[in-house]
Amino acid sequence: MKKFNTVILDVTVAILDFLYRGRDYPRFWVLEEIARAPYFAFLSVLHFQESMGLRGPKHLYLMKQHFEQSVNETEHLEYMESMGGNTYWVDRFVAKHLVLIYYWTNVVYYLLAPVSAYHLSYEVEIHAATTYAKYLALNDHEDKILEILNDELEHSRELQIAMEML
Ligand SMILES: [Fe+2]
Ligand SMILES: [Fe+2]
């Protein structure tokens, strides 16, 4: 499944990079909008399993982690909005449709293969950190982007721990 995750991610990223070339903040906004969805999806599944009496030993830890990650991703999204990333209708249209597909894909994926679902998000977080690092290398320094880059690396570490736990 790891190979499958990498192929899906590479194709999606190539399409977004092509559509958003030269438009950094709209691209970051779309990426942040999508990046939040898996955490809602993981939380939804964990809540559902809990309601069905299937609470595992790591359940509360994972729910707390995913809630904090989703809040943190929302803060990233708000920053991209403050930089005009969601100004245009077309970008909002693209992001809202992608997020709808991505949310439900993650719900099913996490329900059936949680470690593989975590791995996909791990790859997305590494891609996000790399994207921000490239931006910083090519543009004037921006404290907030560096802070967001470090948050994405922290998310990837948390996902790595979650994968090892299951
Ligand atoms: Fe983010
Ligand atoms: Fe992240």
Domain boundaries, the chain: 2-165
Cα 55 to averaged position of ligand 2 atoms, centre (Å): 26
Tokens 């958003």 belong to residue:
20
Distance, CA of 72 to CA of 74 (rounded, Å): 5
pLDDT exceeding 70 applies to what percent of the chain? 100
Query: What's the confidence (pLDDT) of residue 72?
Result: 97
Nearest ligand to the CA of 33 is 1
pLDDT at 6 over 90: no
Its pTM stands at 0.93
- Which ligand places an atom closest to the C-alpha of 155? 2
Residue listed under structure tokens 């590479």: 10
Distance, in Å, from the CA atom of 70 to the CA atom of 118, rounded to the nearest integer, reads: 14
pLDDT confidence of 76, banded at 50, 70, 90?
very high
pLDDT in tens, 107-151: 999 999 999 999 999 999 999 999 999 999 999 989 999 999 999
- Mean pLDDT of the 9-23 span: 86
Q: Which fold has domain 2-165?
A: Ferritin (1.20.1260)
pLDDT at 12: 84
Ligand 2 centroid from CA 95, angstroms: 16
Q: Which ligand is nearest to the CA of 154?
A: 2
Cα of 57 vs its chain's centroid, Å: 25
For ligand 1, the distance from its centroid to the CA atom of residue 50, given in whole angstroms, is: 27
Residue 64 Cα distances to 45, 59, 159, angstroms = 13, 9, 13
